[in-house]
Structure 1
Amino acid sequence: MPSFDISRSRFRLADGHMIVLSELAAGNPSPDEFATAREELADAGLVNEEGKLSPLLLPLMKTVLTPGVVITLEAAGRQGRLHHGMFIGEEHVVAHEAWPGTAEAEYSCVEPKMLVWKLADMVNLQQSSVARETAASVVETTIGAVEAGLAILEGEQVVRAADEEREAIHRALAAAHGPGEPTPTLLTGLISELRSSWRLTSAWQGLKGTEARGFAVWDCGPLGYWLRELPTEPVPEERITPAAPFRLVRVEARTIWTRITDLLPDAGELRKAADRRSAA
C-alpha cells in the first residue's frame, strides 16, 4: 500500500502507483489495468475522486516527468537485484530506493547540494572502513568465469559453511577456465566476501542526443572496493559474452567518491544542450 511521511517529504510507491500518477499528472486517464493502484492511492489520500494529485506530490512528479539528468543504480547481492536511482530537475532532486522483498520503493526529495552524499549513501560507501591487504590489486579473467563463481552464491543448494562455499567457488572458477594462480584464490575470496556489485549510470540529453557516463564497483567488505575496469560502463549487450575480458582493480573509497561526482554533467554542458534544443 502507498504511504507517505510529510516530515521528510518521502513516499512509498510501487511501479503501478507511479504509472497512475504519471498519467494523471500529464492530464491523461489512468490505465484500466491499474484500477487497483488508483484505488490504493485514493485510500492513502494522494489522489482525489477527480484524479487530482495531492499538492504533496507536485515537486516529486514534476521532477520525475521532466528530469534534466537521470541516474540509475543497479545493485546485485545475495538478496537479488535492486534498482535505485535519482531524477535531477531544475528545482528539485528526487531519489528512489528499493527494498528487498517489497513492491514499493521509497521516493524522497533531496537537497540538491546533498545529492552526491545521497548517492554515496545509496551504495553504502564507507570512507573510514579498514580493509585487509590482498596479494594483488588487479584481477583479470573472463565474464564467463566470474558468472560461474557468482552462480554459487545464487544457487538453489545452500552452502552452509564458509570454507565449503569457498571451495565450491574455486571449483566453479576452475571449471570455467578462470585465471591461473594466485589470482583464482583472490577472486574466490572476493566473490565469497562480496556484499554487493553495483553500477551507477547517468544520462541526459546532450548536443548529439542522449549522453551517458557510468562505472561499476564490487564492494567486497573486508577485502575493500574493486572498480570494474572491463567491461566499461555503459556496456552494450553485444559485449556481454562469456569470453569477454573482465578486470577488477582495487581502489580506495575516495576514488569512488570522485567517480560519483564525475557522473554529473556540469552546468555548462547542460546549458549548451538546452540552448541547442531551444534553437532546433
Structure 2
Amino acid sequence: MPSFDSARERFRLGAAHLGVLGCLYEGRPVTADLITARYELRAVGLINDDDAVVPELAGLTHALAEPIVLVHIESTGGQGTTNHGAVIGDDACYVYEGWPGELESEYVRTDLSTLVWSLARAVGLRDRDAKPPAATTITTTVGVMDAGFVALAAANTDDVEETAERLRAALAAKGGLADPELTVFTHLLLQLNGNWRMTAAWNNREGRGTDIRGMTVLDCGPLGYWLREHPPEPILSGRMTPDSELRLVFTDVPRVWELITELLPSIDQLPAPAER
C-alpha cells in the first residue's frame, strides 16, 4: 500500500501508483490494469475522488512527468536486486530507495546540494579503510568471473578455505590469470557483498537526444571498492559476452565520491531553461 509522511515530504509508491499519477498528469483515463492502484492512492488520501492529486504530491508528480535528470541505481546483493535513484525536475529534486522484496520505493524530497550524499547513501558507500592489495588491477574476461560465480554457487560447504581452493581452481581453469591477480581475484569474489550500477541520463543541450553516463562498482567488504572499467557503462543489450574484457580497479572511497559527482551533468550540459 502507498503511504506518505507530510512532515518530511516523503512517499512510498510502487510502479503502478506512478502509472496512475502519469495518467492523471497527462489527462488520460486511468487504464484497467491501474484501477486497484488508483483505489489505493484514494484510500490513503493522495488523490481525491475527483482524481485530483494532493498539493504535497504535486512536486514529485511534475518531476517524474518532466524530469531534467534521471539517476538510476541497480543494486545487486544476496537478497536480490533493488532499485534506487533520483529524479530532478524544474523545481524539485527527489531521491528514492527500494527495499528487497517490497513493491514500493520511498521517495524523499532533497536539496540539490545534498544529492551526491544521498546517492552515496543509497549504495551504502562508507569508509572501509581498505588497504591496496598486491594487485590493484584485475584484467580477465567476463566468462572467468561467471565461472567463479558458478563455483561459489556450487560450493556445498561451510569451510571457507575449501571454498577458496575450489574457487581458485575454477578461475585458474579458465586461464588468463596468474598470481598475484589470481589470488586477489579469488578473495574479491569471496568477499563480494554486492555490486551497484549507477546511470545518469538527461536531454543534451544540443537537442540531439539523451546523454548517458554510468559506472559499476563492486563492494568487496574489507577488500574495498572496485570500479569496473571494462566493460564500460552504459552497456547496451547484447554488447557483453563471456569473451568481453573485464577490468576491475581498486578505488578508494574519496575517488568513488568523485566518480558519483562526475556522473552528474553540469549546468552547461543541460538544455537551456524554457522561458515562462
TM-score by structure 1 length?
0.91
Give the SS at the match of 2:51: coil
Distance 1:114 1:10 in 2: 16
Partner of 1:36: 36
- Written as runs of structure 1 = structure 2, the 5 A alignment for 1:130-149 is 130-149=129-148
Q: CA deviation at 1:157?
A: 6.8
Q: Could you report, residue by residue, the CA deviation over 1:61-100 in whole angstroms, capped at 9, with x for unpaired residues?
A: 1111111111111111111111111111121111111101
Distance 2:10 2:19 in 1: 18
- Written as runs of structure 1 = structure 2, the 5 A alignment for 1:44-123 is 44-123=44-123
> Residues 156, 181 of structure 1: CA spacing in aligned structure 2 closer, same or farther, 3 A cutoff?
closer
Distance 2:31 2:150 in 1: 39
Distance 2:178 2:154 in 1: 28
Q: Could you report, residue by residue, the CA deviation over 1:19-61 in whole angstroms, capped at 9, with x for unpaired residues?
A: 1121112211211112211111111111211111121110111
Q: CA deviation at 1:180?
A: 2.6
Distance 1:141 1:73 in 2: 25
AA paired with 1:274?
A
Distance 2:154 2:15 in 1: 28
Give the SS at the match of 2:195: strand
Q: CA deviation at 1:164?
A: 4.0
Partner of 1:197: 195
Distance 2:137 2:71 in 1: 28
Partner of 2:168: 170
Q: CA RMSD in A?
A: 2.0
Q: CA deviation at 1:4?
A: 1.1
Q: Which runs of 5+ in 1 are unaligned?
A: none
Distance 1:91 1:64 in 2: 12
- Written as runs of structure 1 = structure 2, the 5 A alignment for 1:128-277 is 128-152=127-151, 155=153, 159-177=157-175, 179-206=177-204, 207=206, 208-270=208-270, 273-274=271-272
Give the SS at the match of 2:103: coil
AA paired with 1:184?
L
AA paired with 1:219?
D
Whether contact under 8 Å (1:64, 1:94) holds in the other structure is no
Give the SS at the match of 1:274: coil
> Residues 42, 176 of structure 1: CA spacing in aligned structure 2 closer, same or farther, 3 A cutoff?
farther
Whether contact under 8 Å (1:178, 1:184) holds in the other structure is no
Q: Could you report, residue by residue, the CA deviation over 1:168-195 in whole angstroms, capped at 9, with x for unpaired residues?
A: 4324323443523332221111111111
Whether contact under 8 Å (2:193, 2:220) holds in the other structure is yes
Distance 2:164 2:96 in 1: 35
Q: Which runs of 5+ in 2 are unaligned?
A: none
Q: CA deviation at 1:17?
A: 1.2
Whether contact under 8 Å (1:71, 1:87) holds in the other structure is yes
Aligned pairs, how many?
273
Whether contact under 8 Å (1:191, 1:220) holds in the other structure is yes
Distance 1:57 1:177 in 2: 55
AA paired with 2:230?
L
> Residues 183, 157 of structure 1: CA spacing in aligned structure 2 closer, same or farther, 3 A cutoff?
closer
AA paired with 1:170?
R
Distance 1:124 1:202 in 2: 18
